[in-house]
Amino acid sequence: MPIHRLNHAVLYVSDVDRSVEFYHDVLGFAPLTEMAGRRGAAFLRASGSNNDHDLGLFEVPGAARSQAGRATVGLYHLAWEVDTLAELERIAGRLEEHGALVGASDHSTTKALYGRDPDGIEFEVCWLVPAGLITDEMLAAKARILPLDLAREKDRFGADTVGGIGVSIAALVG
């Protein structure tokens, strides 16, 4: 049976309360009180999710910031999708307010923001161009990574256009 999606992620963090506050304030994850009760742990759900939980946080007091990809091996990043470019822009503002925005890229069929949480764990928030709007030129440009111009992309696709769910090549040719 093939794997077809990520159900949840679990991260080790140095201060679970600080991380809960960050993921709630910046990305809108809601802490789940029904899953509380384990000291040094928290479970959160994304606002548009029907999962039991989307993010688990386990505290390792005094742990150093993540150096994955800079000085150690480890996870590069997690990627969460949003429905619209307007939502991507809102999150860009939240990331900037918290000093957590570390990049913004145009991957042709995917528009992406990159952030780091208080422990230095990187994540991506992205909007995917709907399959019906993907052109041959966009597919040919996927190998190029350009700076993201959200205003241009909102003009091009519409701020409230619902993005694709994953990018399925089968959807493009089928």
Domains and CATH numbers, the chain: 1-61 (3.10.180.10), 76-174 (3.30.720.110)
How much is the pLDDT for 38? 64
What are the C-alpha distances in Å from 2 to residues 168, 172, 174? Answer: 15, 21, 21
How much is the pLDDT for 17? 93
How much is the pLDDT for 170? 44
Helices (H) and strands (E) in the chain, counts: 5, 9
How much is the pLDDT for 139? 86
How much is the pLDDT for 37? 56
Q: Residue-wise pLDDT tens for the chain (174 aa)? A: 687 778 899 999 999 999 999 999 999 999 997 655 567 899 999 998 999 999 999 999 999 999 999 999 998 999 999 999 999 999 999 999 999 999 999 999 999 999 999 999 999 999 999 988 998 898 888 888 999 999 999 999 999 999 987 664 444 544
- Spatial neighbors of 125 by CB under 8 A, at least 6 apart, are 27, 79, 80, 81, 82, 88, 91, 95, 112, 113, 115
Rounded distance, CA 109 to CA 156, Å? 13
Q: pTM for the whole thing?
A: 0.89
How much is the pLDDT for 142? 80
Sign (positive or negative) of CA dihedral 100, 109, 73, 30: positive
